[in-house]
Amino acid sequence: MAGNRLFVSQAVLDRWLGEERVEVQGEQLTLLPEKHRFDLKTGVLFRDEVTGAGDALGLTGRVKDIDQILALEGDYSEGSVIVGDLAYEVVDGLIGTPVSAPSDLSAAIGTLSGEERPAELSALAKLFLERR
């Protein structure tokens, strides 16, 4: 899960907030009721290259945060990004990176003493915890 990011346009975020489907505290978004948390960064979804020169950089359909745009020597302005001679229409929003949280399984197992913890449960917990 650590490699997967979430892009949420500003319009969708506003709707989710109005419907109380998410909470935002500082730079963190929590999906409700599951309580999945994401660290947020300002970002954009590249919709189209608008000069007609073609998408030589292959950005159309991709999501980039502001630091990535600056690394491309791009200029960001609401609704658009210019990189060199190319101009892109973009959708403004936020990029969420999942926050690693202690596993409920590891917390539950940690409360059991060695005598109460079945060997199968310990092996299963180890397998799941190694995959995080």
Confidence band for 7, pLDDT divided at 50, 70 and 90: very high
CA-CA-CA-CA torsion sign (63, 66, 72, 78): positive
Contacts of 122 (CB under 8 A, 6+ apart): 109
Domain boundaries, the chain: 6-100, 102-132
pLDDT of 3: 59
pLDDT of 100: 67
Q: What is the mean pLDDT of the chain?
A: 82
**Can you tell me which residue has the tokens 């409920």?**
104
C-alpha–C-alpha distance, residues 43 and 55, integer Å: 19
What pLDDT digit, counting tens, does each position of 59-108 carry? 999 999 999 999 999 999 999 999 999 999 999 999 999 996 545 444 44
Average pLDDT over residues 17-27: 95
> 66, exposed or middle or buried, with CB in 10 Å at 0-12, 13-18, 19+?
middle
Contact 7/45 with Cβ under 8 angstroms? yes
Residue 131: pLDDT over 90: no
**Can you tell me which residue has the tokens 């907030």?**
17
pLDDT of 4: 79
Average pLDDT over residues 36-48: 95
